[in-house]
Structure 1
Amino acid sequence: MSSDDDMPSVNFTVKYDGEAIREHEMDVALLAPALLGMQKIIEELVKASTEGEYKASLKIKGNVKQGSIEIELVTQAIANFPTQIIDFFSGKYTTAAANLITIIGAGGLFALYNLVRKYGHKRPEKIEYLDGDKVKLYFDNETTIVNQNVFIVYNKFEVRENLFKTVKPLEKEGIDTFEILKNGELLIQVKKDEVSRFFPPRLTESLLLDENITYLQIKSISFNLNNKWTFTNGDEDIKANIIDSIFIDKVAKRDISFSDGDILKVRLEKEQYMENDKLKTSYKIIEVLEHIKGSQQIPIDFPNV
């Protein structure tokens, strides 16, 4: 039975440089989130490339060279299941070791950082899946080919968020470059003026924006800062923000009264979006076109002013 120390590992160096750290010091409040971000990125790359059979462990080996901050890191692939450790000279072990070398190199970290550094928040206009687990991405008039696992990781919000954490120290005055080196060879360099390209994309992704004229029957009125009222469209209940300032002003001035069964003819905006991998729907009433009275008056709970 082998120990974790027998599992495949690769060393690489993370380096920050600039006038602010010439004395070989860096605020832990900047460095700690950056290293934790790197840990998460490596975890996702190892998980994707080994189909979840291995997990990543990232350890600090030491600091080298004065005049900058260079931290040598050891990343290790650790088997997720005990049966995988029994014969660590098996094909799976060899594959894991090869994958790890690729991950800390042109086929992994470099490709991931380079995609964001070069294209920022752009989405590929076309995706072409090639043989050998490769994918060809079309951006404007350019194309780039990366491993499918890199593209999968690239599309995860958490990974994009952690990529930004690793370069966020560059926002501080006097820290000018972020680099990743392996065996003294420069793999990745991000400069201060490139940080904005690493801002994580919105957590929510709009999928559909639709507007139509429809009738809604009032179920409850909530006159607050959001003006989110509950309606029925005949088939289901929905909550909608009213952003028609003229209508809201009339309600606030008590120029409009409401009765049980009142119907509003409205311009309704419907948005469907993804949030944390969940499909959600929101509604906005852009304009109230007509107020059709019901029979029984509804009291309105106005906020105290």
Structure 2
Amino acid sequence: MDMAQHSRFHLVYDGPALTEHKMNVRALAPALLAMGDLVERANEILNGNQAKVSVNVNASFKSGSFGVDLELAQSLWQKVLDFANSHPVTGILAIVGLLGLGKDTVKGVVQVVMWLRGRGVKRIEPLSNGLVRLYVDNDHMDIEERVLQLLQDYKIRRGLEGVIGEPLQKEGIETVAVVDKDAKKVIVSIDRVQAGYFKAPEPEEEALQEDEYATSLQVLNLAFQDGNKWRFTEGGGNTYYATVSDYEFLKRVQLNQEQFAKDDIIKARVRRIQRLTKDGLKADYEVLEVLEHRGASPKVQLRMDFGPTQQD
């Protein structure tokens, strides 16, 4: 029993450099990897862990271009096993359409990026039936909420940059197109002039949590210049750089009133700010106040048993 859904499309790179049906592996390999990342990320956003996708590649040739047949397979076993508790799965045909690479006419991510032309969205207005309206300058476009969800994801935008934007920066590659070979129809075509539209915007960093706590820190590296960060560990592999903003403590250090030996320990009040960045979860640390400073050598327990008191 075949519990998988398939989609096939033809990705074509065209230009003077490809007249002999050759494409530099340094351009092709990253583009194909980016296509895999793009489809897998879209499936992850829309389906979570309910379905898995795979991207298979077959090279094909046409005069003056380099074409790649892509077969996308989506396993639906997880949906069958967890049917009672699962949300409806977005099929691979729909995923390709929402990305703007499918045979059906739809305003997918690719079409929205080409419409935006690098312009920023001024306002997003929710509509009915799962649609939203994007406003740019005096223009607007209505798209599915799912397309907006993909459009706003940094990994999706990086995938499109890898498949479309970066190859078009290579000398001799002038066009990237998705073609329906059966219908002999070009689904979407992007030229070198439009390549810049597909450069992924830098994502905004999002502050997730800020907290303050008292902890013991082992000093690994000191910084004696203003603005430099000290390196600490809290033990258990949690090592980080932190700004020390306790002015009185720093003044004592500069006057040699506080002297440090290797791996000295301070008890301090610390502020931690966690941020979501394009590279994942990050944290910034600041030592607000040094409460205590002691050496790293543990104390030896002295056994002082004097025995029973002697009576004269």
SS at match of 2:205: strand
**Cα displacement string for residues 225-247 of structure 1 (whole angstroms, at most 9, x for unaligned residues):** 963369xxxxxx96179xxxxxx
In the alignment, structure 1 residue 102 sits paired with structure 2 residue 97: yes
Secondary structure in 2 aligned to 1:161?
Answer: helix
Work out which of the residue numbers 108, 112, 118 in structure 1 matches 2:109: 112
What is the letter of the counterpart of residue 123 of structure 2? Answer: K
Alignment match, 2:277:
275
Question: What is the aligned partner in structure 1 of residue 178 from structure 2?
Answer: 180
CA distance in 1, matches of 2:35, 2:65: 19
Identify which range, 120-129 or 135-144, moves more after superposition.
120-129
Percent pairwise identity? 22
Instruction: Confirm or deny that 1:53 pairs with 2:50.
Output: yes
Is the contact made by 2:102 and 2:187 (CA closer than 8 Å) also made in structure 1? Answer: yes
Residues 223 and 185 of structure 1: CA distance in aligned 2, closer, same or farther (over 3 Å): farther
Q: Which residue of 2 aligns with 1:3?
A: 2
* Residue 12 of structure 1, CA deviation: 0.8
Q: Which amino acid aligns with 1:35?
A: L
Taking a change above 3 Å as real, the CA distance of residues 82 and 124 of structure 1, as seen in their structure-2 partners, is: closer
After TM superposition, the structure 1 = structure 2 runs for residues 164-243 of structure 1, keeping only pairs within 5 Å, are 164-167=161-164, 168-182=166-180, 183-203=183-203, 205=205, 222-223=223-224, 227-228=228-229, 239=243
Matches within 5 A, 1:1-305: 2-3=1-2, 7-50=4-47, 52-81=49-78, 83-84=80-81, 96=91, 99-100=94-95, 102-103=97-98, 104-105=101-102, 111-119=108-116, 122-167=119-164, 168-182=166-180, 183-203=183-203, 205=205, 222-223=223-224, 227-228=228-229, 239=243, 258=255, 274-276=276-278, 278=281, 280=283
Change in CA separation of 1:99 and 1:172 when aligned onto 2, cut-off 3 Å? closer
- What is the alpha-carbon distance in structure 1 between the residues aligned to residue 49 and residue 139 of structure 2? 32
Q: What one-letter code is carried by the residue in structure 1 that aligns with 2:169?
A: E
- What SS class does the counterpart of residue 8 from structure 1 fall into? strand
- CA displacement at 1:69 relative to structure 2: 0.6
The runs of 5 or more residues in structure 2 that have no matched partner are: 208-218, 232-240, 246-253, 259-272, 287-312
Q: CA deviation at 1:96?
A: 2.8
Aligned mates of 2:95, 2:225 — CA distance in 1 = 55
How well do the aligned residues superpose, as a CA RMSD in angstroms? 4.0
Instruction: Give me the whole-angstrom Cα distance separating, in 1, the residues matched to 2:152 and 2:103.
Output: 18
What's the CA shift for 1:202? 2.4
Deviations 1:242-290 (A, max 9, x none): xxxxxxxxxxxxxxx64769xxxxxxxxx9964145475588xxxxxxx
Residue 175 of structure 1: how far off its partner (Å)? 0.7
Conserved 8 A contact 2:7-2:93:
no
The normalised TM-score by structure 1 is 0.63
Which residue type is aligned with residue 141 of structure 1?
A: N
The normalised TM-score by structure 2 is 0.62
How big is the shift at 1:187? 2.1
Q: Kindly state the Cα deviation for residue 85 of structure 1 after the two structures are TM-superposed.
A: 10
The CA distance in 2 between the partners of 1:189 and 1:225, in whole Å, is: 54
> SS of 1:81's equivalent?
helix
Structure 1: distance between partners of 2:6 and 2:22: 28
Residue 164 of structure 1: how far off its partner (Å): 0.9
- In structure 2, C-alpha distance between the alignment counterparts of 1:258 and 1:108, rounded to whole Å: 73
Equivalent AA in structure 2 for residue 275 of structure 1: T
SS of residue paired to 1:59: strand
CA change 1:79–1:191 in 2 (3 A) is: same
Number of corresponding residues: 237
> What are structure 1's unaligned runs of at least 5 residues?
87-91, 208-218, 231-236, 242-256, 262-270, 284-305
Paired residue secondary structure (2:71): strand
The C-alpha deviation readout for 1:174-226, integer Å capped at 9, x for no partner, is 1111111224322222211222222222255377xxxxxxxxxxx99614696
**Counterpart amino acid of 1:37?**
A
- Asked if the contact 2:107/2:143 (under 8 Å) is kept, the reply is no
Amino acid at match of 1:173: E
Amino acid at match of 1:28: V
SS of residue matched to 2:125: strand
